[in-house]
């Protein structure tokens, strides 16, 4: 494993000064600053105000402060330093590798690619080292912290149009991209199979398969409650939640079409194991579809997977069983068990399968024992 590193290196101060001219109408200071500081969102401005880094005539200002002519405003913005890609000696579980691509069994807890909050320990860091890179690679782009979080970036199988990996390419990441070779992605806490390209031809060929839905992707999902239908389809457009920017939701008026097919594998006293196939690849698709159909994924904090066990109609024994389940698996219970793609060179369709990791297996074993005891 790579050594533990600081995920949040020192931020860079950038100060802006404004002298309000005569004739300026009264305006909230947060609106004025977000309008006059390039690339500064209202979220970033509010953070600066809350931290006492916005002064009007030498006094700390509140967001509701109205600016007046001749006011002297000083605003200090804390910007995240530029990202870099650091090859790290992190063990990889490789299911397949040749000159064109690598198929990796990603563990739960590993972020796919670097971001401000996850600079190190990602799959990209590990892949770079595996391919022979040893020096850190600077990235020209700077990503604002409030615009980059794991729930936005780590999409469930959203295809990625970024660049590719070449072991001996000195111009690797000369662009502003931070996702070399990543064809599709998994959430941080989703385990399972991913394919990574090694050259531009392979990348385009593989990415088109995900875009055209000719690849095969199958998941195991453990959801709360007993799913009544043996199989079925969930459809519903998915868009960002208007209440919480970190979440997505089914939208009746906007969003993108999403379809999830499922089949019951096993029913337990309080949960159901499903085999899930995606017909589209929207952000958090599986998690959103089952949550909004009253069967959230076990331990999925973001989409109600913890609140489910606190519902009033569950008796004490059922709650005790549910609590034990959440102790065994502390991340949303989703595993990408099967991946199939057409090889870029041979044009052979190849599928790989992988069993769920230990936490998932132990949870299933516990539920099976509980079912036997209650039968």
Asked if 225 and 270 touch (Cβ cutoff 8 Å), the reply is: yes
Q: Token pair of 208, please?
A: 């088109």
Q: Could you tell me the two tokens for 218?
A: 């199958």
Give the integer Cα–Cα distance in Å for 319 and 310.
Answer: 7
Q: Of 187, 189, 239, 300, which residue is the catalytic one? A: 187
Is 237 buried (19+), middle (13-18) or exposed (0-12) by CB count in 10 A?
middle
E-state strands within the chain? 12-19, 27-28, 54-56, 59-60, 66-67, 72-79, 84-85, 94-97, 101-106, 137-138, 191-197, 216-224, 231-235, 238-240, 248-250, 259-267, 271-278, 334-342, 349-353
How far apart are the two ends of the chain, measured CA to CA in Å?
Answer: 44
Spell 359-369 as b/e; 16+ CB within 10 A means b. bbeebbebbee
Please say if 365 is a catalytic residue: no
CA distance 10 to 114: 17
Token output for 340 = 């199939």
Q: Is residue 276 within 8 Å of 220, Cβ to Cβ?
A: yes
Q: Which two tokens stand for residue 213?
A: 């839905």
Cα distance between residue 249 and residue 89, in whole Å: 38
Residue numbers annotated as active site: 187
């Amino acid at each position: 494993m790579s050594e533990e590193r600081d995920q949040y290196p020192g931020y860079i101060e950038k100060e802006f000064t404004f002298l309000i001219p005569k004739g300026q109408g009264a305006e909230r200071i947060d609106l004025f600053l977000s309008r006059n500081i390039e690339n500064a969102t209202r979220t970033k401005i509010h953070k600066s105000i809350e931290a006492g880094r916005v002064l009007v005539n030498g006094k700390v200002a509140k967001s509701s402060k109205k600016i007046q002519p001749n006011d002297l405003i000083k605003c200090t913005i804390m910007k995240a330093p530029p990202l870099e890609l650091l090859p790290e000696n992190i063990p990889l579980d490789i299911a397949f590798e040749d000159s064109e691509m690598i198929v990796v069994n990603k563990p739960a807890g590993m972020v796919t690619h670097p971001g401000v909050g996850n600079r190190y320990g990602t799959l990209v860091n590990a892949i770079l080292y595996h391919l022979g890179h040893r020096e850190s690679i600077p990235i020209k782009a700077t990503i604002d912290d409030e615009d980059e979080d794991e729930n936005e970036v780590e999409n469930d199988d959203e295809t990625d149009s970024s660049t590719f990996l070449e072991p001996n390419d000195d111009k690797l990441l000369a662009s502003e991209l931070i996702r070399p070779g990543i064809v599709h992605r998994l959430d941080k806490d989703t385990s399972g199979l991913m394919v990574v390209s090694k050259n531009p031809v392979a990348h385009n060929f593989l990415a088109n398969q995900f875009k055209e839905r000719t690849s095969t992707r199958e998941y195991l999902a453990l959801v709360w409650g007993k799913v009544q239908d043996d199989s079925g389809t969930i459809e519903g457009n998915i868009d960002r939640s208007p209440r919480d920017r970190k979440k997505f939701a089914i939208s009746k008026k906007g969003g993108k079409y999403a379809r999830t097919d499922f089949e019951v594998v096993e029913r337990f006293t309080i949960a159901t194991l499903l085999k899930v196939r995606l017909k589209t690849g929207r952000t958090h698709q599986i998690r959103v579809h089952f949550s909004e159909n009253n069967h959230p994924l076990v331990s999925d904090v973001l989409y109600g997977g913890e609140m489910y066990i606190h519902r009033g109609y569950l008796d004490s024994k059922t709650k005790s069983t549910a609590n034990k389940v959440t102790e065994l698996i502390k991340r949303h219970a989703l595993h990408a068990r099967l991946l199939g793609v057409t090889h870029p060179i041979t044009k052979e369709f190849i599928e790989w399968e992988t069993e769920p990791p230990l936490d998932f297996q132990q949870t299933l074993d516990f539920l099976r024992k509980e079912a036997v005891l209650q039968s």
